[in-house]
Structures are given as C-alpha cells and as structure tokens.
Amino acid sequence: MRVLVTGGAGLVGSHIVDALLARGHAVTILDNLEPEVHPDGRPDWVPSAARFVEGDLRESPVLDDALTDCDAVIHQAVYGGFSDRFSRMADVNCTGTARLFEAIRRAGRIGKVVTASSMAVYGEGWYACAEHGAFHGTVRHLQAREARRWEVPCPHCGVATTPHPIPERSDVAPHGTYACSKYFAERLTLSQGQELGIAAVALRYFLTFGPRQSVHNPYSGICSIFSTRLLNGMAPIVYEDGRQTRDIVFVEDVARANVLALEDPRADGRVFNVASGVSTTIADFATWLAEAYGISRHPDCPGRFRPMDTRHMLGDSSELRALGWAPHIDVREGLRRYVAWIRTRGDVREHFTHAEERLRALGIVRETRN
C-alpha cells in the first residue's frame, strides 16, 4: 500500500512511518512542522524514503497533494496538551479531520483509515469497590481537590477504591476541548467510513512516551517535561500527591498497533484501547526517569492540580490483544531508550517553568488550600 501518515514527523507518526517502511509499504508524510514542536524545521528522523508534504491539514490543496496515489490513511495529526488555545485545538482536531474526509471523498480511492483517538474520551477512569464492584468514575469536585482529597470514592458507600481496567465498550464522558475533539475525530472516522464504504478503525491511546517526544513543547509529554527539568538541575514537578496512576505505553508498541489495525481486516469498524494493562504512579515514573539519567533527585509535589486531570487511568486492551498485539517494551526499558535518545540531542532548555506560570494565571493549574 501507499499510506498517508498525517502528523508523520511527530512522536507516534514518525514511528508509524518507520514501521510501515520496514514492512514494504510506500509512505507519504503530511506535517505542518508546528514551531512549538519542531522549532528547527524538519527533524532529522524524517526518512528520505518517504515522500514529505509540509502543510496544514485544514487546507484542501495540501490534502489533495498529500493523498496523491495513496490508498490508505493513518491519521495522527493533532493539536493537544494542556494549552489554553482551545479554539485552535478544536479547529485542528475537528475541522482538520472533517477536511481530511472531504479530501478522501474527492480522491475516491482510499480503502482504509486508521485514526488516533485517546484515553481522554473516557473522562475519569474506572474503579473497583470491594463491596460494590467496578464502576466508571465521574469528574472529581474542585472542592475536594482544593482540600487535597485526591482519590475517587465509591459512589455507594464512600470507601476508598482501586483502579480498574477500562474496557473498549465503556461509556465515554469526554470533558475538556481535547477529549471532546478526539471523540469527534474517532466518531467521524467510523461514520464516514460507513458512509463512504471505507474500512475505518479508531485507536484510543493511553499515555504514550518515547524517543522523538518534543523537548520544546511545555504543554504535553511528561517524559520530556520531566527530562528538561532534570537536565537543568531541577526537580520534576508532579501534580496532586504524585500517586495518581497512568497506563503508560512505549511509542514503538503504539506504532505496531497502528500497523496491525491497517493490515488486519478484523479490526475494521472497531475501536480499540492501546494500553499496557499496568498502572504506574507519576511519582514513580519521575523517579525512574531520574535514575535512568543517573541523577539523584526526587520529584517535587507542591500539591497543585489541574481541574481537567483524571486520577487513575488503566486500560483493558484485550480486544486488540486478541488480534495478536501485545506491548513489548515496559516503562523502565522505555525510559532507558528515551534517555539514550535525548543524549544525542545536545543541550536541552527548560521551558516548563514559564509555561506553568502562565497556566496558573489562567486557572488551568490551581493551588490547594493547605
């Protein structure tokens, strides 16, 4: 196949490009080289074997050019992170996906589309109460978090709960612009696929990290944000109490999930979680990252929080595993690979401090009362 990868210079997209080329597919990359992510222009990991189109996903002539001779699309282009540029986020993620399908309709030869979605569409995670069983959590009250009551209690008895894997068939409850825009993109992909007679798949990524995660963007990617602080003699800032957990997946495993979804017709018309099934606290992630650098520094937990954050997110990827996918790289090995990569990038500046000051002024990051 000739496959168009939108956002193909980014973290996940670039690894998908590598995986596709290794399997003998021809590849076209469409990327706008967002200056916040790629301040030096086209990165050196963009392979010469791929056709590269620089441009905006929302521009029809650019899309028509990028789709030339292509017969499949893996849609990764996104504007995300904890940014206050909500209208741009909605425009890129929603309008951009709609424009992509308009161009696919014009091209008339695309046979499959795989779209990146996100665990964010679930809203809060799932939890288990020893007495009342599993349930889908709801958004935590601001007053509780201001008082440093971080955990999600059982709605029936109020006792402490434990994280429970989120099934693909869970109800969704996206809150915030990013989550809503990703849900729009996956729903549009599946509905347009049905309308146009195109095989369509949506993949809900859990927290993804690895080499090529931008060290310039201060609004997304804890691995890079923590790294820029550690490499500049500063402790990573961890929100809440640091005991919140995420299901963390190495980028090469996410790329393999995309290739499987593209090549396996059993995936058509379906939504899958791309998750490891393992919970990792953010404080442990920061500590392990410091250890990988050989730095003795513990994360700083000043008690600040983000109202849109979830407490625990653990994924059930059994449906994707049934097709033959499984994660190969655990968190600690992935961190070692990330550190080996970032040491090839030269001096790394720290952008987070200034960005967090701005986010605190906007109320995107908030203070606790004690």
263-277, 300-314, 344-358: lowest mean pLDDT where? Answer: 344-358
DSSP 289-349: HHHHHT---PPB--S-B-TT--SEE-B--HHHHTTT----S-HHHHHHHHHHHHTTS----
State the pLDDT at residue 219: 62
Cα–Cα distance list, 199 to 20, 68, 82, 350 (Å): 18, 19, 32, 43
Once rounded to an integer, what is the mean pLDDT over residues 238-244?
96
CB 313 within 8 A of CB 206: yes
Q: Which two tokens stand for residue 154?
A: 């059982």
Task: Output 215 or 130, whichever has higher pLDDT.
Answer: 130
**Strand pairing class (162-164; 126-129):** antiparallel
Containing 229, the helix (H) or strand (E) segment is: helix 222-230
pTM score: 0.95
pLDDT of 184-207, one tens digit each? Answer: 999 999 999 999 999 999 999 999
Q: Model confidence at 362, in pLDDT bands (50, 70, 90)?
A: confident
Q: Report residue 370's pLDDT band, with 50, 70 and 90 as the boundaries.
A: low
119-161, pLDDT tens digit by residue? 999 999 999 999 999 999 999 999 999 999 999 999 999 999 9
Report d(CA 114, CA 359) in Å as an integer.
33
pLDDT at 82 over 70: no
3-state secondary structure 262-273: HHCHHHCCEEEE
Q: What is the pLDDT of residue 85?
A: 77
How far apart are alpha carbons 207 and 39 in whole angstroms?
Answer: 24
- Residue 188 has a pLDDT of 98
- The pLDDT score that the predictor gives to residue 135 is 97
Look at residue 260 in the predicted model and tell me its pLDDT: 98
Domains detected in the chain: 2-362 (3.40.50.720)
d(CA 73, CA 115): 8
Q: What's the mean per-residue pLDDT of the chain?
A: 94
Quote the CA–CA distance of 242 and 311 in Å, as a whole number. 10
- Chain centre distance of CA 258: 13
DSSP result, 14-37: HHHHHHHHHTT-EEEEEE---TTT
